Amino acid sequence: MLLFGFFHLLLCKPKDETFVVQRYIAGNWTTDSNNQIHTFYFIPIQNVNHYQALLNDKFLDIYIKSFSSVDISYMNYNFTLNFQNTNTRNPYAIAQIEPGYLIDVFIYTKDIIDVSLINETKNEIVVWTFKRPIPQLTRKDKFVLLSFFSCIIILVLYAIYYSRLWKSQKAKAKKSHKIKNH
């Protein structure tokens, strides 16, 4: 009963609402768009509302202001991204970096994000499509999977064997019971 109460408390614990950006701040993101390679290396920091990433050997700071708003600081640029459509699958944000320059961030999936830099004076757009690498299984992961499925197969084989053994013993018992009754 005490154990049941403990699990009930765990399950009924209110869930913290995550910020839109926190879903995407994990792992490393890379792009090779426009024949340029850019990589975000996220660096863990103890503060929940502050994240840091390494982009082209320079630090990019992300400060979470609210559920859908973040402040970005990179080199000499400081700007705020206010995400729209946060309840849909594809949130986006547009911000002015400096006069004549805009940044547009569009989220396709949890693993693909487009970052567009727009130069309004020259009518140029540079688009970088950042992707998270698909994780590869390590040797340990493969061993754990092999062990798990091997155990499942062995359990199924034992179940088949013992069900047949039980049926044959049941049939023998019926047969011997019939012989005794005649």
**pLDDT per residue as tens digits for the range 29-83:** 777 766 777 777 777 676 677 888 777 778 888 888 887 788 888 888 888 888 8
Q: Are 3 and 108 in contact (CB under 8 A)?
A: no
* CATH number of the domain located at residue range(s) 15-131 in this protein: 2.40.128
Which of 86, 95, 87 is closest to 62 using CA atoms?
A: 95
For residue 132, what are the contacts with CB-CB under 8 A and spacing of at least 6? 27, 28, 29, 110, 111, 112
Q: Which residue has the higher pLDDT, 161 or 21?
A: 161
Strand 28-31 relative to strand 38-43, pairing? antiparallel
Q: Are 103 and 114 in contact (CB under 8 A)?
A: no
CA 175 from chain centre, in angstroms, equals: 60
Domain positions in the chain: 15-131, 137-182
Q: What is the pLDDT of residue 150?
A: 92
Place of tokens 């792992």: 27
What is the C-alpha radius of gyration for the chain, rounded to an integer number of angstroms? 29
Mean pLDDT across the chain: 76
